[in-house]
């Protein structure tokens, strides 16, 4: 039985539930299309419940607490008037056009991260759905949507949401989101939703007035941590478990990306993330679907993705920044903030070979401690790798994308290193055509004091955490948001088209080539000989040249005859001209020629 929120239970009947142990009396206030007040029964456990007649889908309502304050439903599935307005009863039934989609194997997953509000000029689920065919044609197999839980106003990244189960109304609400998921499935694309269960936003959150939803023992970067492990934590965990299952079961999402799981502070014997992974596995078995759970856990902790039978949390894959930071530091020369720990060819080689660079054996000067654990035995698909994502772009004062920071050849090299790695790759929207529009941090809070605090705090954070100097654009200015919108009406450029063709070819090779489609790290051998990283992938050989001038010299290569199948410097990809030889013959070493900042792919010649 559902304990949190509103669920339709019959013709015109809806069951309402609110956990509010700090309150002695709760009434349901129907505010539309008519008005009435209905007392809810209080249970000994602090849950207020009741079944209300004449409350069909579309009914709007609030909860009145102890005869005074009226608030929206914290477990709302729809907030058509924003975070301060009444909640809306949602029909869980939906007219699915692709009801038999069963999901996607993790080993076939190629993620494309997008922000609904800036992905198109319209900024809606329906508009984003119209571009899904182009992503399918590119070779993407899964769309990862940045958080859509209702947040204040109409502009935001989504990480300041306060209704974790209500799809943002300005994007199209719950029906618009389900249409988007349905459209993706119709095109053979999986959908992964980014969810935020480590905190709630500062504007519109009323949980603290209901009971011990927050901990008095833990604090995270956003203030008091959510109560996942203290007294009365079971209903709090149930609140977020119910949210996850709403998206996965009723909205048919194929996976969740859990934001900043290291900030879900939980020292219990059964961590919340592990409990969620169990619930997701049970749903997958029950529904005969492939459903995945990804964690943004940047501490290089192998327990996150180890099976529960081996003492792990049982998450399917985790984000890791080490490959990004290695490539970024090498190709941009930046050493600010976390990039101070990277920048060597050896670090890039280790990231491509071992999953992450900091594995418990090295001291991080940025973190000022030894970081990480060994990833030995973990298959490549357990690591999510990227050349950049929303954080690395948006957490710069100028919001610059990689294509604005490096040459086209370096951009293609960074993309190729990720897409041909043994890991689960992720593209950030626009990567495929070298997008140069910035991706700033933006928000739409209404309270001026909160706006001022965010402006000041943002500047301090960028300096303290990332080491960046400079003043970022005002996150609340409409023009800051407008600058980030991807404008498909602009005439395509030759460079953009050729870069997209290059990405399409890399993904084809990854999908079809026997050496590149095998995510086994045991079959991946990586070595570094300045300025080249050699990555053997079974029957494929990837040469990554980070130098500024043409490389001509001997490299240690796997013995055998090798045939060139791709050179990123080829003019087909808008390069300066291919330099790599059409064939190589190695007795353990071979003479190699490579264009500056280029990638060459060879296959074993039979």
pLDDT at 1 (0 to 100): 45
In DSSP terms, which residues pair with 386 in a beta bridge? 426
Pairing state between β 13-19 and 5-10:
antiparallel
Asked if 5-88 and 111-503 have one fold, the answer is no
296, 505, 570, 574: which one is catalytic? 296
What stretches in the chain show pLDDT beneath 70? Answer: 1-2, 491-492
Tens of pLDDT, residue by residue over 309-354, are: 999 999 999 999 999 999 999 999 999 999 999 999 999 999 999 9
Q: State whether residue 598 is helix, strand or coil.
A: strand
| Contact status, residue 555 vs residue 534, Cβ threshold 8 Å | yes
pLDDT at 198 (0 to 100): 97
DSSP structural state of residue 572:
G
Tens of pLDDT, residue by residue over 519-566, are: 888 889 999 999 999 999 999 999 999 999 999 999 999 999 999 999
pLDDT at 466 (0 to 100): 77
Phi, psi (5° rounding) for residue 123?
A: 70, 40
144, 182, 194, 259: which one is catalytic? 259
Q: Under CATH, to which class is 520-604 assigned?
A: mainly beta
pLDDT at 2 (0 to 100): 54
What lies within 8 Å, CB to CB, of 285 at 6+ separation is: none
In DSSP terms, which residues pair with 255 in a beta bridge? 192, 292
| 194 has catalytic annotation | no
| 259 has catalytic annotation | yes
Q: Under CATH, to which class is 5-88 assigned?
A: mainly beta
Q: What is the per-residue burial (b if ≥16 Cβ within 10 Å, else e) of 98-112?
A: eeebebbebebbbbb
Domain boundaries defined on the chain? 5-88, 111-503, 520-604
CATH 1.20.1050.10 fits 111-503, yes or no: no
Task: Mark out the alpha helices in 17-129 (DSSP H runs).
Answer: 116-119, 125-129
Q: What is the distance between the terminal CA atoms of the chain, rounded to a whole angstrom?
A: 61
- In Å, how far are 20, 66, 69, 413 from 210, measured between CA atoms? 4, 11, 11, 52
């Amino acid at each position: 039985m559902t304990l949190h929120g509103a669920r339709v239970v019959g013709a015109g009947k809806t069951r309402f539930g609110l956990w509010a142990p700090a309150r002695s009396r709760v009434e349901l206030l129907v505010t539309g299309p008519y008005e009435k007040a209905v007392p809810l029964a209080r249970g000994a456990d602090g849950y207020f419940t009741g079944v209300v007649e004449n409350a069909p889908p579309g009914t709007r309502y609030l909860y009145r607490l102890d005869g005074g304050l009226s608030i929206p439903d914290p477990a709302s599935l729809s907030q058509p008037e924003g975070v301060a307005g009444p909640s809306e009863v949602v029909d869980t039934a939906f007219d699915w056009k692709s009801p038999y989609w069963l999901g996607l194997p993790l080993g076939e997953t190629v993620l494309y991260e997008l922000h609904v509000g800036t992905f198109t000029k319209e900024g809606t689920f329906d508009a984003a759905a119209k571009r899904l065919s182009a992503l399918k044609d590119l070779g993407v197999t899964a769309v990862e949507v940045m958080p859509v839980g209702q947040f204040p106003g109409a502009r935001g990244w989504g990480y300041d949401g306060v209704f974790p189960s209500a799809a943002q109304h300005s994007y199209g609400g719950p029906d618009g989101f389900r249409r988007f998921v349905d459209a993706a499935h119709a095109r053979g694309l999986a959908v992964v939703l980014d969810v935020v269960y480590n905190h709630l936003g500062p504007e519109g959150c009323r949980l603290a007035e209901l009971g011990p939803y927050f901990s008095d023992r833990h604090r995270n970067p956003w203030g008091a941590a959510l109560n996942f492990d203290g007294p009365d934590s079971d209903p709090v965990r149930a609140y977020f478990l119910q949210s996850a299952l709403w998206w996965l079961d009723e909205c048919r999402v194929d996976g969740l990306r859990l934001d900043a799981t290291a900030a879900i502070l939980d020292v219990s014997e059964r961590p919340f993330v592990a409990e969620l992974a169990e619930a997701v596995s049970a749903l997958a078995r029950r529904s005969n679907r492939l459903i995945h759970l990804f964690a943004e856990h940047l501490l290089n902790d192998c327990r996150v993705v180890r099976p529960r039978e081996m003492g792990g949390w049982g998450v399917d894959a985790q984000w890791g920044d080490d490959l990004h930071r290695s490539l970024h530091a090498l190709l941009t020369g930046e050493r600010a903030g976390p990039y101070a720990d990277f920048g060597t060819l050896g670090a890039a080689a280790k990231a491509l070979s071992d999953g992450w660079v900091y594995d418990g054996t090295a001291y991080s000067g940025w973190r000022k401690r030894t970081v990480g654990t060994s990833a030995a035995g973990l298959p490549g698909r357990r690591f999510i790798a990227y050349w950049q994502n929303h954080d690395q772009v948006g957490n710069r004062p100028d919001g610059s994308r990689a294509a604005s920071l490096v040459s086209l050849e370096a951009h293609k090299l960074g993309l190729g290193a990720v897409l041909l790695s043994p890991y689960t790759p992720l593209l950030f929207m626009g990567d495929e055509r070298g997008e140069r529009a910035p991706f700033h941090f933006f928000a739409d809070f209404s309270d001026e004091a909160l706006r001022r605090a965010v402006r000041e705090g943002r500047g301090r954070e960028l300096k303290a955490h990332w080491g960046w100097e400079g003043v970022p654009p005002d996150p609340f200015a409409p023009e800051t948001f407008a600058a980030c919108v991807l404008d498909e009406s602009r005439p395509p450029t030759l460079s953009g088209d050729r870069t997209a063709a290059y990405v399409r070819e890399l993904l084809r090779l990854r999908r079809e080539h026997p050496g590149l489609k095998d995510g086994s790290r045991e079959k991946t051998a990586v070595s570094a000989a300045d300025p080249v990283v050699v990555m053997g992938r079974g029957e494929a050989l990837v040469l990554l040249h980070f130098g500024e001038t043409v490389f001509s010299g001997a490299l240690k290569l796997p013995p055998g005859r090798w045939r060139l199948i791709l050179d990123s410097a080829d003019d087909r990809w808008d390069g300066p001209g291919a330099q790599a030889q059409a064939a190589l013959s190695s007795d353990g070493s071979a003479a190699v020629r490579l264009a500056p900042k280029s990638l060459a792919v060879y296959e074993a010649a039979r």
